[in-house]
Structure 1
Amino acid sequence: MRESIPVEEKLLITLRYLATGCSFVDMHYAFKIGKFTVSLIVQEVCKAIWTHAKHITFPSLTTEKWLQIAEGFKKNANFPHCIGAIDGKHIRMIKPANSGSMFYNYKNYFSMVLFAMCDSNYLFTYADVGSYGKSSDSGILKIPLYE
């Protein structure tokens, strides 16, 4: 039986993939492992990072936190009663099989939406990746205002 790929190398592969945007084929040649193995490593490491860091990156939005965000917008931007700046970005993609028109957007191409909200200090407070292209920003933002 072969030795397994060390955790350090898995992290290195994932970080290089995310930082450079290289294809799995490029990573296959650079690290001398299979393309499918590279894709599994990237998925596994990204899932582990998200599982262990999501509570640090995106803390729970309590009533006190919402009030703090609103105060920041009032103080820094002279924009009272604002609890976040939002925007969505359509990421062009090939139509997924059996998806109908769910990913077809108003710009007349297939996409999924990368959506984010931040506070007055440009820190993310909410993010959503993978919503249907037909969805609007307000349709994606469905978070509770109170915990």
Structure 2
Amino acid sequence: MMFFDPLIINPVILHASHQRKRMWCRPIYSARRTESEYATLYPKLLHDPEKFQNYARMSQPSFHELHDLIKDYIQPGFTNFRDSISTEERLLMTLRYLASGTSFQHIGYNYRVSHNHTGFIVSETCRAIWERLTPLCLPIPDRDTWERIADEYYRLWNFPNCVGSIDGTHQEIQCPKHAGESAFGQDFENNRLDLPPPKPLPNTDQELPFVFLADEAYPLRENLITPYARRSLSNPSRIFNARLSRARKSVECAFGLAKKKIEVLHRPIRCSVERATVIIQASYVLHNFVRQRDGLPLQANTENAVNNNITSLGPIAHSGRHSIRDGFRNYFHD
């Protein structure tokens, strides 16, 4: 016969009876379907286009077009126990995070989702935005397109054979886990841009290559033109620097307009470098998407300045890079 000593068993029973029951879902999250911003505010925003645009930083038609583009890439996983978060709600959460610049925790409270899951949703949605919009809004131009860009750039900024300006802005990331290496400049080194062959400057027979413009933080390259050093400048070099600086206003305006619309770019991003990278990528391609469809807001200010904390590309040897810059200098002086 088996015998159990009650003095031994009873403490075990008592201990088990006093264990706290663990909740599968906190009450604040279980009320998501009725109390979240998606349930209470979103239906009202649909009847107020102006407020919707202020909330999501895009028009309703643009929102629905974007949702159609990415919905298959942000489908919630199947579960038997919880209400899944719809693709539309995931997109709205992400847009509000980008527009407000607040924390995952704050967005999570507003949408009744844990801050960890909010971070996952934002990251996944930003990755889908980047992957789906890049071919549409940031395609690599072919040679004919490069030439059209150069013609338009000359019309706007009076700098011939220029296909764009290059700059960078510092984005603070709070408590990064790992630091990544910059791969910027590989397109130049590997000749992946497929620029057109050199072309004569207007009203001359002097052929010069198509170029990008940058400031002194970047190295001088065959297709990347930077200012002359400020010390002991000749008058032609001073004129060239002024023309280059004026033509580079386009990229400064671009950063300023993006930061004006997307508040997350103004503040430290509190997440890993990997997650912050996809958030930043999505922010800028989303800015292009909205501009192409909704235009610029009436209050847009094109005089916003940007920081110039730029990662240097590192110099490369090229005997002709100085003569190319001199060719542009002589063109402007003559």
- What TM-score does the superposition give when structure 2 sets the normalisation length? 0.31
**Distance between the aligned counterparts of 2:84 and 2:154, measured in 1?**
53
Q: Does the CA-based 8 Å contact 2:107-2:118 persist in structure 1?
A: yes
Question: Could you say what secondary structure the match of 2:166 adopts?
Answer: strand
**Residues 58-92 of structure 1, C-alpha deviation per residue, up to 9 Å, x if partnerless?**
12211111111111121221110111012111123
The unaligned stretches of length 5 or more in structure 1 are: 104-116, 141-147
- Whose helix fraction is larger, Structure 1's or Structure 2's? 2
CA, structure 1 residues 40+96, in 2 after alignment: closer, same or farther (shift >3 Å)? closer
1:60/1:10 CA distance change after superposition, 3 Å? same
2:169–2:310 Cα contact (<8 Å) kept: no
Q: Which amino acid is 1:52 matched to?
A: R
Richer in strand (by share): 1
1:116-127 paired onto structure 2 within 5 Å: none
Match in the other structure for 2:108: 28
TM-score, reference length from structure 1: 0.66
Structure 2 equivalent of residue 45 of structure 1: 125
> What SS is found at the alignment partner of 1:87?
coil
SS for the counterpart of 1:2 is coil
Q: Larger radius of gyration, structure 1 or 2?
A: 2
The 1-side partners of 2:142 and 2:153 are apart by 17
Deviation beyond 4 Å, 4+ runs, structure 1: 94-100, 117-120
Q: Deviations over 1:95-142 (max 9, x none)?
A: 745659x69xxxxxxxxxxxxx9979x789xxx968xx7722xx29xx
Aligned residues: 118
Which secondary structure does the structure 1 equivalent of 2:156 belong to? helix
* Residue in structure 1 matched with residue 134 of structure 2 by the alignment: 54
Where does structure 2 lack aligned partners over 5 or more consecutive residues? Answer: 1-80, 183-247, 256-276, 282-308, 315-334
Which of the residues 296, 311, 314 maps onto 1:135?
311
- Which of 83, 86, 89 pairs up with 1:3? 83
Q: Matched residue of 2:95: which SS?
A: helix
Matches of 1:98 and 1:24, distance apart in 2:
20
Flag the structure with more relative contact order, 1 or 2, with Cα contacts below 8 A and sequence separation at least 6. 2
Deviations along 1:5-64, one digit per CA (max 9) or x if unpaired, are 111111111010000011011112111111110000001111111121111101221111
Correspondence for 1:91? 171
AA aligned to 1:60 is I
